[in-house]
Amino acid sequence: MTYIEFLRIIKDRFESEEKKVIEKVIVSGEESLNDEEIEILDSLLENYKISNCPNCLEAINSDDYETFLFIYDEGMCGYCRTRYDNMMKE
């Protein structure tokens, strides 16, 4: 998943100002943002960009947007999720 694909997915989770900033990045790139918009983007990405899985503490690459999204939604990485699902089946 690319950065832009990631932004397209999270875009609809935000409203007004934040959504506008995300749309601007998708259309014109981060270079097009002013300082205020960069601040908005940074603070909304902060919630997604985590460095470790909160469950197994596995390190996550700084450009692994698919995992960021997964952990944000599931609260754990794919590995933990699979282990958890298997545990529930037994």
The secondary element (H helix, E strand) that includes residue 89 is helix 78-89
Give the binding range for Zn ion (CB under 5 A) out of 28-36, 41-49, 68-76, 82-90.
68-76
Select the residue interacting with Zn ion from 10, 53, 67, 68 (CB under 5 A): 53
Establish if 55 lies at the interface with Zn ion (CB under 5 A): yes
- DSSP secondary structure, 1-49, as one string: --HHHHHHHHHTTS-HHHHHHHHHHHHH-GGG--HHHHHHHHHHHHTT-
Minimum CB distance to Zn ion, residue 7 (Å):
24
How many other C-beta atoms lie within 10 A of the C-beta of residue 21?
23
Establish if 77 lies at the interface with Zn ion (CB under 5 A): yes
Minimum CB distance to Zn ion, residue 53 (Å):
3
- Residues forming contacts to Zn ion in the complex (CB under 5 A) are 53, 55-56, 58, 76-77, 80
